[in-house]
Amino acid sequence: MTQRPESPHTAAQFMSKKLITVSPKESLVVAWKIMREKRIRHLPVVDADQSIIGILTDRDLQRAIHTEFDQSGDVRYTIERFAPQETVQDYMSSPVRFVSADTPLITVATQMVEQKISSLIVTDSDEAAGIITTDDLLWALIRMLDSEKEPNMRKLVSSLMVSPVGEIAHRLSNVGI
């Protein structure tokens, strides 16, 4: 088996550094508004000590949206309304998955694909430093492709497909991302 050279790209290079968090006791309406206003799909959940104890995603919120059905069982309509008593802790995912800031990007992508998750919290010296999402991986791919422009595009594409970037793209494609 041929050993591939280690990728110089790490989680820290492509993560979103500003973590926007929410309390587990917060209402789903407030969490939904934060995600809409900030245009994010992942909201880390922190306890009173600011330790990350879960993550709320846009998919979690979609599960919480109430749908009304007609008598035949067909969807009558779906509205973005949450039950007032439901909180973030009722829908958040836990435990949260972490990677260190120096984790190679290929390892980040592989973990996401294998675990069927769309984000990882990035740590540096055991402190949360950011979050890396599938969107960040796609932006990384775009930047890598853009920075590698050559007159001979066929040579570029062929070399990318056997590189860690090509493997990331292939794995993301295989899971429908």
Residue whose structure tokens are 């594409």 = 157
Fold of 11-174: CBS-domain (3.10.580)
Task: Give the E-state strand segments of 19-148 in sequence order.
Answer: 42-46, 52-57, 67-69, 75-78, 98-100, 119-124, 127-133
Is residue 83 within a helix (H) or strand (E), and if so which, with residue range? none
Per-residue pLDDT of the chain (177 residues; tens, 9 = 90+): 444 444 578 999 999 998 999 999 999 999 999 999 999 999 999 999 999 999 999 999 988 887 666 667 665 555 557 778 899 999 999 999 999 999 999 999 999 999 999 999 999 988 899 999 999 999 888 888 876 664 455 455 555 555 676 667 666 666 656
**pTM for this structure?**
0.71
Q: What is the pLDDT of residue 146?
A: 75
Facing residues of 132 across strands? 120
Domain range list for the chain: 11-174
Q: What is the pLDDT of residue 144?
A: 81
Nearest Cα to Cα of residue 123 among 86, 97, 159, 93: 97
DSSP secondary structure letters along 1-46: -PPPPPPS-BHHHHSB-----B-TTSBHHHHHHHHHHHT-SEEEEE
Q: What is the rounded CA–CA span in Å between residue 148 and residue 160? A: 10
Contact between 14 and 132 (Cβ < 8 Å): yes
Q: What is the rounded CA–CA span in Å between residue 131 and residue 78? A: 31
